[in-house]
Structure 1
Amino acid sequence: VCVIADTPVPGREAHAFAGPRSLWGARLARAVHRAVRDAVTEGAQGGPRASGVTHGTPVAGY
């Protein structure tokens, strides 16, 4: 996750990022929730996530 924040300037309100109850934290939490929900739903409906692909032995160094 990458969070970009402006530097506060005079005359402009600064928004605190303090978890899911803050303005930006709530937006980020909703976006993550939606992405996870969509991925799980897609997999349950036979989408690409439920294709039966298995992963081999991990390559050393990764």
Structure 2
Amino acid sequence: MVFLTVAEVSSVMRVSRMTVYRLVHTGHLPAIRVGRSFRVPEQAVHEYLRDSASIESLDRP
């Protein structure tokens, strides 16, 4: 299993690091703590992006 740092996740998702922290803290994006930082499973990032893309397509007229 490959884990990404918050900075790497923000780069992949093209959002700020603060947005990634919010997603982790609200439980929308699973993560583990390593010392004082978080690591997010790479697969979880891809699943989140896939799921959010499918939701956006449903919202469009």
**TM-score interval (norm. to shorter):** 0.3 to 0.5
> What TM-score, normalized by structure 2, do the two folds share?
0.36
Q: Which has the higher helix share?
A: 2
Of the two, which has the highest radius of gyration? 1
User: Structure 1 or 2: larger strand share?
Assistant: 2
**Which structure is higher in RCO with an 8 Å CA cutoff and minimum separation 6?**
2
